Structure 1
Amino acid sequence: MSLSMILPMSAFALAASISPGPVNLVCLSCGTRYPIARGLVFVTGATLGFIALFVAVGLGLYSVLALMPGLDVALRWGGIAFLLYLSFRLVRDDGRLPEGESGTAPGFMTGALMQWLNPKAWLASASGIGAYVSGHDLGQLTVFAALYLPICWLSLGSWVYAGAFLRQYLDRPALLTTFNRVLAALLAASCAYLLLD
């Protein structure tokens, strides 16, 4: 594959991965509340979950969904329920930072599941494959997925590091509670996209 295709694929992957969305907001929240390593576990799950979704869409999953109209509705409502659950957890947070390794950070499976329920991930997969993969060219799909993997991981990881940077300014429970509620509102607002789609 030529460099003239690899560069646009990489630019698309970067724009889709680093732009704000539900998964990025959870990464930011992980960075403000937990050790960086715990946030990166979530990032790894989210990245591998996205790559699995991306490849599945490239192999025809999106076409199967079109043939089963009830399934896309179920995925939409599942995504809304999951995002509202995460929003609820942020709203209920008391703003006290966990000491050391205590506290329950979103883990690997949460990250992977979140991508499958994330409308941004479905849209990025379908539009990226539509733009850069000819027909069902497995070679192009493999190259695109191989490019996406490190770009997605580094992009999501940068949100965890941004949260860790903000942590020093949010060391008072009242400030962190406010920050968490803003993130919760943004996550809940992202459900509007699912309802309007």
Structure 2
Amino acid sequence: MTLDTWAIFVPAAFALNMFPGPNNVLAMTHAARWGFSTALIASAGRFPPFAGFVLAAAIGLGAALAASAELFAALKWVGAAYLLWLGVQMIRAGAGDLAGVSGDGRLRPLAAREFWTAITNPKAMLVFTAFFAPFVDASRPAFAQILTLGGVALGLELIAVALYAFAGAHLGRLTRSPRGLGLVNRLSGAALVAAGLALLFARRPASP
């Protein structure tokens, strides 16, 4: 790939990573509640699914997902149900969510949230597939190119996580009272419910 291609891909990929999707909402919420470092470490849970999506895009599974109405619908319902469940749980928990848990005992459930939020979102795989395609040189094997693009995108994802966690940590300093933290949880829960509803009504792209 040429330098001109990278000059377009990198800012476009970073803008995509900065989109306030469900995982970024979680990173901001975790940082507001438990600090920057906790949110950044917990975000490791999203990277195995995202790396899997990159590999799937490289071997063509994303195209299969786009072409299969049944597969897309099944994954869409699972993902929407999880986001709705998680959002309702956060709204109901208020300021008490994981409040009595510390250390590694807290990181595991937070990382699990990141993992399941990422892996149950079929739109994420389609985004990877559709986004990488215009940057692939058709005269060369696509597999290695997509893996390279995906590696760069995952690196940019880490930067985006850090920025969301940084913003969340500062938000947390302004809402240290139980009432303020409860409000953060409820707003974040409402955002996840909205994301779940949006996913529920999402349509797969038309097959080429």
Q: TM-score, normalised by structure 2?
A: 0.83
Counterpart of 2:74?
Answer: 74
Q: Tell me whether 1:188 sits opposite 2:190 in the alignment.
A: no
Give the alignment of 1:156-167 within 5 angstroms.
Answer: 156-167=161-172
Alignment partner, residue 14 of structure 2: 14
Q: Which runs of 4+ in 1 moved over 6 A?
A: none
Cα deviation for residue 180 of structure 1 reads 1.5
Shift of 1:96: 4.8
The more displaced of 142-151 and 106-115 is 106-115
Q: Does residue 149 of structure 2 align to residue 144 of structure 1?
A: yes
Unmatched runs of 5 consecutive residues or more in structure 2: 203-208
The residue number in structure 1 matching 2:102 is 101
**Segment drifting more, 120-129 vs 50-59:** 120-129
State how many pairs are aligned: 197
Question: For residues 121-151 of structure 1, what are the alpha-carbon distances to aligned partners after superposition, in whole Å with 9 as ceiling and x for unaligned?
Answer: 2342122122222456123212201211210
CA contact (8 A) 1:23 1:115 kept: yes
| Partner residue, 2:43 | 43
1:129 equivalenced with 2:132 (yes/no): yes
In structure 2, relative to structure 1, the CA distance for the partners of 1:33 and 1:75 (3 Å cut) is same
Cα displacement string for residues 86-136 of structure 1 (whole angstroms, at most 9, x for unaligned residues): 102211223158378267354434323322222552342122122222456
Cα distance, 1:49 vs. partner? 2.0
Cα distance in 1 for partners of 2:53, 2:186 equals 30
Q: What runs of 5+ residues in structure 1 fail to find an aligned partner?
A: none
Contact 1:21-1:120 at 8 Å conserved across structures: no
The answer to whether the 8 A contact 1:95-1:176 is kept is yes
Rounded to whole Å, the distance in 2 between the matches of 1:109 and 1:183 is 17
CA–CA separation in structure 1 for the residues paired with 2:65 and 2:126: 13
Native 8 Å contact 2:62 2:126 kept in 1 = no
* Distance (whole Å) between structure 1 residues aligned to residue 113 and residue 183 of structure 2: 24
CA spacing shift, 1:124–1:63, aligned 2, 3 Å: closer
Determine if the alignment matches structure 1 residue 110 to structure 2 residue 113.
Answer: yes
TM-score using structure 1 length: 0.87
Shift, 1:31, TM fit: 0.3
Q: Which 10-residue stretch deviates more, 11-20 or 85-94? A: 85-94
Q: Give 1:168 deviation, angstroms.
A: 0.9
Same amino acid, percent of matched pairs? 25
- Which residue number corresponds to residue 57 of structure 1? 57
Judging changes above 3 Å, is the alpha-carbon distance between structure 1 residues 175 and 120 closer, same or farther for their aligned structure 2 residues?
A: farther
Provide the rounded CA distance (Å) in 2 between the counterparts of 1:154 and 1:69.
Answer: 34
